[in-house]
Structure 1
Amino acid sequence: MDSILTNPKYHDIFSILKGFRNGAVYGARIRFPHALVMQVLFGTGTIEQKFKRITEATIQHSRNLAFFVTIYKTLMVLQRRIKGREDSADSFIAGLIGGYFIFGDDNNINQQINMYLLSRITFGIAKMAVKRGIVPEPPHSFPIFAATVWGIVMWQFRHERDVLQSSLQSSMQFLYNDSEVFSNLGNWLWRNR
């Protein structure tokens, strides 16, 4: 088997298969602890219901990432084989197609993943603009960025709450609104309600 794995003729196929495996493993590694913590802190229902939600979220994240990696790597291989080279736009095209089919369903897991990526690429675009000399690096850019992000999210939570993702709404409800509700030492100090 080792000789097949190291044979350049089969490299692309094994790379795609390992990409599927790595997507599944990474998705589970990322989602399981997040889902566990969210269910322990904010989940309602029985232990069985919480475990079911943890398992479903982990499987969905793992499956989505595994299939996205597979589609992306397959399309990259196909484009390279058709043209005999890789062009700059190839990764964008492969990501666009994979993103549409795998992360295009509007559900909580995909919302979180897409928002995570949006924040990272927005930051990356700003850094690219500075790196390429398109804009000068503004002084105090990170504090201005942080102030803008927090100002917008707090305004949205206060005045347009329904536009925020449900897990963010729950977290902010706990932090800002539930801290307004207490009637005795017990629900002021160690119990939320």
Structure 2
Amino acid sequence: MEALNALLASGQHHDLLSIVKGFRNGAVYGAKVRFPHALVMTFLFRTGSLQEKLRFILKATYQHSRNLAFFVTIYKSLMLLQRTVKGGKEHGADAFVAGVVGGYVVFGKNNNVNNQIVLYLFSRIMIGLAKLAVKKQVLPEPKHTFPVFAALVWGIVMWLFRHNRDTLQGSLQASMHYLYNDSDNFDTFKNFLWHNR
């Protein structure tokens, strides 16, 4: 243990050890994010036995954790490789290249966990790109942007749900069905207030 502490404190092999720590941080973060989400969504919306629900929660948590750990490892490894090949300097496109390769290898399979992560990132980068355009003075800073943005997002999602529901992600369809369709069905006080069906 002392030898390991001495190695870590020395700064030797820092770049390689940061890849190992990145793997660890990806695994921990993925589990912290996915477990509570899977737990809540499974018990709210999934049917099946307790054992099936627990198996689903653990599988989704493992997949999210594993994918983030491997993505961080690939990304940091490719960043180090590119920096080493280019004489110790990072270039502007290096992060993009490492992200593209890691994204394709790790998140390229279309499944529920990957789909949700990629959609989450997509929404964040769209806002980031809009802010970048303002920051670089490509576009003037518009007034009242968030209310207009929120209105358009809700208008589009409600139109899609009403007329082209199959184009929406499954979990979004389930949530919206619960909110907008299941609330139309009642014939007793019990299923009006206490139970959905």
- 2: distance between equivalents of 1:62 and 1:134? 38
Q: Which residue of 2 aligns with 1:71?
A: 74
Q: Distance in 2 between matches of 1:168 and 1:10?
A: 45
Within 5 Å, which residues of 2 pair with 1:9-158? 9-84=12-87, 85-158=89-162
What is the percent sequence identity of the aligned residues? 62
- Answering whether residue 179 of structure 2 is matched by residue 175 of structure 1, we say yes
1:45 partner SS: coil
- RMSD (Å) for aligned C-alpha atoms: 0.7
Show structure 2 runs of 5+ residues with no match. Answer: none
- Give the length in aligned residue pairs: 193
The code of the aligned residue for 1:156 comes to L
* Inter-partner Cα distance in structure 1 for 2:21 and 2:144: 43
Superposed displacement of residue 9, structure 1: 3.2
**Any idea what the Cα deviations from partners look like across 1:35-57, whole Å, max 9, x if unmatched?**
00001111111110100000000
Shift of 1:150: 0.4
Q: Which residue of 2 aligns with 1:162?
A: 166
CA distance in 1, matches of 2:48, 2:129: 42
Unpaired stretches in structure 1, ≥5 consecutive residues: none
User: TM-score, normalised on structure 1?
Assistant: 0.98
TM-score calculated relative to the size of structure 2: 0.96
1:7 Cα shift? 3.1
Determine the C-alpha separation between the residues in 2 that align with 1:20 and 1:7.
Answer: 21
